[in-house]
Structure 1
Amino acid sequence: MKQTEIYLVRHAHSTYSPDEYGRGLSSNGHHDQKLLMHQMAEKHVNVILSSPYKRAIQTVEGIAQQHDKDIQLIEAFKERTLAGKPVENFQEAIEMVWHNESYAHPGGESNDEARNRGIDALKDVLKTYEGESIVIGTHGNLLALIMSYFDQKYDVTFWRNLDMPDVYCLTFEEETLVNVQRIWERVN
């Protein structure tokens, strides 16, 4: 049976702004993006997909150039919408949606909704690119939600401990997850 490798890449550091689509990487983010490019240099990569958010695209750009691939934008891999407008206490707002997975703040997505969006997109990728190696530029909350579909140990604590960037290689046989390996290693 052909195995499919999915590299879920959480974007590198970006300076916060309310412009989700246009917010790019910080200088630290650009530095780490170059480290990530070197760590992914020896990996076999067939396809590069990304959230349409600039910080996710910029994080995988070096990998795309290195492997001479175009980046295909997939709307479904954008970050979960926590609320329709900025929340007063971000940590409290995140805790609420992780502890009640069907709850959504006004104008936002529940964990269930965001996870379903991410998993539907992931299943499409697994069907379309079966047996290939795919890099997906995405975001911390969505990455944790996708992984939590397969194993509940990928929870809010896992999300809190993610690095920026971070990379997990998920190996699949058809739609069955058979292995998870963290790829990113911060080297000073």
Structure 2
Amino acid sequence: MPKHIYIVRHSKAEGQAPEAELTELGKQQSEALVNFFSERKIDRFVSSPFIRAVGTIKPLSDARNLPIDIDPRLAERMLSTTHMPDWKEKLKDTFDDVDLKFEGGESTREASTRAVAVIEEILEGDSENTVIVSHGGIIPLLINHYSRDEGFDRWRGLTNPDVYLLTAENGETTVERIWDQA
């Protein structure tokens, strides 16, 4: 029996801080996710603890009358705790060197390891159709792990929100972008 994990990037938010709320557009986008998933079976929701991630999936979890499990391993990746005007170049460098780490930040390997652990636990669990909600710094790492996609280019192509479907069956996994609302 195949397992499906819907990997959702949060809707448009007011900022990058953990407590950043969704914008009015982000709230509308979250409501659009209810319609987007209307014909899809869902057994479980797992979200980053960040307010924008939980807010993205709350309308859908309410509509399905299912709780949202919070998992801090899905939190946004910290590139550095110091201001870096050239942060996009530095981020690109971390995709090329997975162990590169800046002051106070996580390497690609570290961030990927924690996020992949969530996916692996879901795949080993009982739920057949799970929605996870995370961030632009984590989702490309997950996709790259399961599909060997180009991480930095994937990052540049993400939208708010965005949805990918990871399907696992008989030891094989596939990942495809299924969000067509961009």
Q: TM-score range by the shorter chain?
A: over 0.9
1:80 aligns with 2:77: yes
Q: By how many angstroms is 1:65 displaced?
A: 1.1
Residue of structure 1 in register with 2:176 after alignment: 181
| Deviation of the 1:181 alpha carbon | 2.9
Q: Is 2:143 the partner of 1:144?
A: no
Q: Aligned residue for 1:114? A: 111
Residues in 2 aligned to 1:149 and 1:174: alpha-carbon distance in whole angstroms: 17
User: Using a 3 Å threshold, how does the CA distance of structure 1 residues 152 and 143 change in structure 2: closer, same or farther?
Assistant: same
Which runs of structure 2 are paired with 1:64-75 in the superposition (5 Å)?
64-75=61-72
Cα 1:175–1:113 shift into 2, 3 Å = farther
Summarize the Cα distance change of 1:141–1:175 in structure 2 as closer, same or farther, 3 Å threshold. Answer: farther
1:6 aligns with 2:2: no
Out of 145, 159, 166, the residue aligned to residue 163 of structure 1 is 159
Residue 30 of structure 2 corresponds to 33
Q: Deviations along 1:122-179, whole A, 9 cap, x unmatched?
A: 111111235x1000011122111011112222410111101100000111126531x3
* TM score, norm. by length of structure 2: 0.93
What's the CA shift for 1:99? 2.0
Matches within 5 A, 1:45-64: 45-64=42-61
The unaligned stretches of length 5 or more in structure 2 are: none
CA distance in 1, matches of 2:170, 2:102: 35
Matched residues, percent identical?
Answer: 26
| Secondary structure at 1:181 match in 2 | strand
Helix, strand or coil for the counterpart of 1:148?
Answer: helix
What is the RMSD computed on CA atoms of the aligned residues? Answer: 1.6
CA positional deviation for 1:90: 2.4
Deviation at 1:38, TM superposition (A): 0.8
Counterpart residue number, 1:16: 15
What's the secondary structure of 1:141's corresponding residue? coil
